[in-house]
Structures are given as structure tokens and as C-alpha cells.
């Protein structure tokens, strides 16, 4: 079985697995399960993969990717363990900085907010990514890998595998995993990432690894005394896939319409999600929503 075949079947398989989890939680564990949220996530994924990506082929970063490949420093031959290891680590490093920017730069957060919009945490939210990633230019963070000489198809295949790994992280029933917690991104670490508690918000950006979070000071461990509260700081109470996909873009457009200067417009576009001209440093109005050391809450 080729990698392309695995990736082609990945979405149907993960939706089936998420459905099985929902059935088990509902009928075996007798726990409340939000099936409307499950339906919203499935709709988001199916529309993205089989409609948006199939018919909207425009990518904001496409020309830059082509330019980087045409003027690459070298061509890295992917013919051994060392080259694949560098590809994996390089892609993981780029993913960390993309993911961090997706929380700290409103332009990227407008798409990424879709993934954080569910108010619960289960496998059914893992593939809720929104429809505007290509148009927003998320791929710009991987251009350095291509310029260094890694083929674009290899870079984005590694990214796809990274995201596929993260599917199993979206669950509450897997406990902490001992020494693996020091190296890998685990369900415990990812629960923290999806939490909107002040002590947890905007932490644990890694994909497969957690080492870059530890290195760059964005790591937070899950605490027994602080249960995770999932969703956006201002919860999005909607199961409408269209509203979920565009709610943050609409809020940003409204803020831009009220901008009085170019500085304000730039702040609304590229500042942190909570940036306001009357709040220097984008400090939130409510201290309970501010993560120590981070300074800005996410907003929904």
C-alpha cells in the first residue's frame, strides 16, 4: 500500500473510528455525547476535502512554493534514514511555528479557531480544520524546507502524516503515558492545548513531538487539580458548519471596518486575536482569561 493510498483513505477511516468512539461512549459508557458536534465536524471535513479542495485550487502561497523550489539551495535525496529523519524534524519544527502563529496571529487564527470551536474533546473534533487554510496561506511556514531542497510533495506528505498522528490525541480516556510524555505529544498534552483555562491557554503547540514546546517555553503539563475546560474563551454555541467556518473571519472583518488608522487595521489583521487599540499589548479585559506568560486570550 502506497502513502498516497493511505492518505486517501485516512479521512473515511478516522470518521468511522470517531463514530465508534461516540457509540461506545453513548451506549456502553453511558456518557453524554454531542452528536450534533460530531455531525458539524464530519460536514466540515467532507466539504473541505471533497468540495473546497477539489474545486478551489487557488493557494495564496502556491507561487512562493514554486519560486522556492525553482531557486532551492540544493536537492535533498530522500534515499535513506538520515534524510527522512531531517525531513521529519524540519517539518515538525515548521509545524510548531505555524501552530504557534495560528494562535498568536489573528489572520491565521481565523482559520485555526475552527479547530478549537468544539466545547468538548473527543476523536470527532480531530478533523475539524475549516475551509480557508489554503486561502489564508498557512503553507508559508513550510516554504523554508522547500527552499533548502526538500520536494514540496515530500514536505506536505510529512505534514499530512503529522496531522494523522494527531488524530488519536483528541481523547479524554487515554491517561498520561509515563516517560513518553517527555518526548511525544500525547493526549494529555493535547488536552491542555485545547483547554481555555487561564493556566493552559496557548500551550503545547507540537505535532508529533513536545520537545520544541519544552525548548521554547510554551509547555504546560495537565494538572489533576485543574480539569480542562474545552472550547474558545468565548464559547461558540453553534453546530452550523458555515458559521463555524467563518465566524472569526466575520468578526475580523467587522473590526477592520471600524479601524480608524492603518496601524489599527494591521493590528486587527496580524496582531494577537484579542488585540485592541485601547489595550496596549493586547491585555485582556478580564484577567481570568489571560494565561500567565502569554498575555492574550483567544477569542471566539
In sequence order, what are the beta bridge partners of 276?
279
Q: Which pLDDT score, from 0 to 100, does residue 293 have?
A: 34
pLDDT in tens, 224-241: 999 999 999 999 999 999
Q: For residue 283, what pLDDT band results from cuts at 50, 70 and 90?
A: very low
Q: Which of 130-139, 172-181, 289-298 is the least confident region?
A: 289-298
Contact 170, 41 (CB under 8 A): no
Mean per-residue pLDDT for 88-95? 98
CB atoms closer than 10 angstroms to residue 76 = 18
- Where do we find the cell 466545547? 119
Confidence (pTM): 0.92
Q: Please state, in angstroms and rounded to a whole number, the distance separating the CA atoms of residues 24 and 112.
A: 29
Q: For residue 278, what pLDDT band results from cuts at 50, 70 and 90?
A: confident
Contact 60, 134 (CB under 8 A): yes
Q: Please state, in angstroms and rounded to a whole number, the distance separating the CA atoms of residues 195 and 289.
A: 11
In sequence order, what are the beta bridge partners of 230?
195
Q: Which pLDDT score, from 0 to 100, does residue 70 have?
A: 98
Amino acid at each position: 500500500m502506497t502513502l498516497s493510498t493511505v492518505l486517501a483513505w485516512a479521512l473515511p477511516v478516522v470518521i468511522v473510528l470517531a463514530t465508534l468512539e461516540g457509540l461506545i461512549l453513548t451506549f456502553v459508557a453511558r456518557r453524554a455525547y454531542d452528536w450534533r458536534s460530531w455531525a458539524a465536524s464530519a460536514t466540515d471535513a467532507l466539504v473541505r476535502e471533497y468540495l473546497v479542495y477539489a474545486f478551489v485550487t487557488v493557494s495564496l502561497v502556491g507561487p512562493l512554493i514554486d519560486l522556492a523550489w525553482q531557486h532551492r539551495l540544493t536537492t535533498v535525496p530522500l534515499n535513506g534514514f538520515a534524510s527522512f529523519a531531517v525531513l521529519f524534524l524540519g517539518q515538525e519544527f515548521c509545524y510548531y511555528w505555524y501552530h504557534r502563529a495560528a494562535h498568536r496571529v489573528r489572520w491565521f487564527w481565523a482559520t485555526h479557531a475552527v479547530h478549537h470551536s468544539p466545547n468538548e474533546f473527543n476523536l470527532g473534533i480531530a478533523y475539524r480544520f475549516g475551509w480557508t487554510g489554503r486561502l489564508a496561506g498557512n503553507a508559508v511556514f513550510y516554504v523554508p524546507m522547500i527552499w533548502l531542497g526538500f520536494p514540496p510533495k515530500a514536505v506536505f506528505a510529512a505534514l499530512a502524516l503529522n496531522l494523522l498522528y494527531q488524530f488519536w490525541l483528541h481523547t479524554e480516556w487515554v491517561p498520561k503515558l509515563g516517560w513518553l510524555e517527555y518526548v511525544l505529544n500525547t493526549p494529555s498534552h493535547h488536552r491542555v492545548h485545547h483547554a481555555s483555562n487561564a493556566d493552559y491557554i496557548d500551550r503545547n503547540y507540537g505535532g508529533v513531538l513536545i520537545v520544541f514546546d519544552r525548548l521554547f517555553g510554551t509547555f504546560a503539563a495537565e494538572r489533576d487539580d485543574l480539569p480542562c475546560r474545552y472550547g474558545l474563551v468565548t464559547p461558540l454555541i453553534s453546530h452550523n458548519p458555515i458559521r463555524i467556518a467563518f465566524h472569526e473571519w466575520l468578526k475580523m472583518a467587522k473590526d477592520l471596518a471600524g479601524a480608524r488608522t492603518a496601524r489599527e487595521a494591521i493590528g486587527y489583521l496580524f496582531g494577537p486575536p484579542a488585540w485592541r487599540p485601547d489595550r496596549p499589548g493586547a491585555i485582556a479585559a478580564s484577567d481570568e482569561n489571560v494565561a500567565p506568560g502569554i498575555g492574550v486570550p483567544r477569542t471566539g
